[in-house]
Amino acid sequence: MLKKEIIYRNPLVNLGYEHEDILSNGGLGAVLAHAGVGKTALLVQVALNMMIREKSVLHLSLQDAVKKVDLWYHELFHNIAANFSEAEIQEYWDKIQPYRFIMTFRVESFNVATMEERLTDLMQQNIFKPHTVIIDGIKFDEAGRGQLVLLKELAKKYAMRIWFTVHAHRHESPAENGLPVSFLHVADLFDVIVQLEAKGDEVYIKSLKGKPSGTKPHTLLLDPATMLIKDSQVGS
């Protein structure tokens, strides 16, 4: 059954997190990687998992148009459902569509006040109330703490959780804890931090923060051909 296939592919639960949502109300999560490694693909799969469980996702992009973001969802959904008939794929795609809303901003014009204004417009008109928000494209080395503090307060206010993509520069050596130096000034605001690391032809997915202590080490891989998550027996 297609629904079971997508739920099974929840890309982060197998890293040792305690529940399917990974983040609790008011929580912030980050996916760190160099450009082109798969940050957006990973979070789209998190979103698809939420949608199939009938939990609404607001995807907020600061770098891509609505059409391009929608294409990410279409392609990854079809890759997941490759073994099912076109009729089944279309049926489930139509079923989960109401649980996703795409919103775009220009990087230079994005601010939390404007985001909240647009969000409350959607909620007050009973158009959309997000369970999870994905923000793709904030430049953390330029943003400072203030914006992140406000976003964390916003998540708590509306009982949401927010995921971010975080661009790690290739020329930047990581700190001792594995985090990019340019991210250290806001790292404490995040409840969960996941890293994508390319090694040869493989992309490894590792937990850097938020996994319960004592959890058995586990590593997942991102298939560079399909951008889907696959399991691995390689220890982290």
What is the C-alpha to C-alpha distance for residues 95 and 29, in angstroms, rounded to an integer? Answer: 27
Q: How confident is the model at residue 159 (pLDDT cuts 50, 70, 90)?
A: very high
Q: What is the pLDDT of residue 204?
A: 86
Q: What is the CATH number of domain 2-232?
A: 3.40.50.300
pLDDT above 60: residue 196: yes
What is the C-alpha to C-alpha distance for residues 81 and 87, in angstroms, rounded to an integer? Answer: 11
Regarding pTM above 0.85, the answer is yes
Q: What is the pLDDT of residue 173?
A: 73
E-assigned strands of the chain? 28-33, 57-61, 100-104, 132-136, 161-167, 192-199, 202-209, 219-222, 229-232
pLDDT tens-place string over residues 52-86: 889 999 999 998 999 999 999 999 998 888 888 89
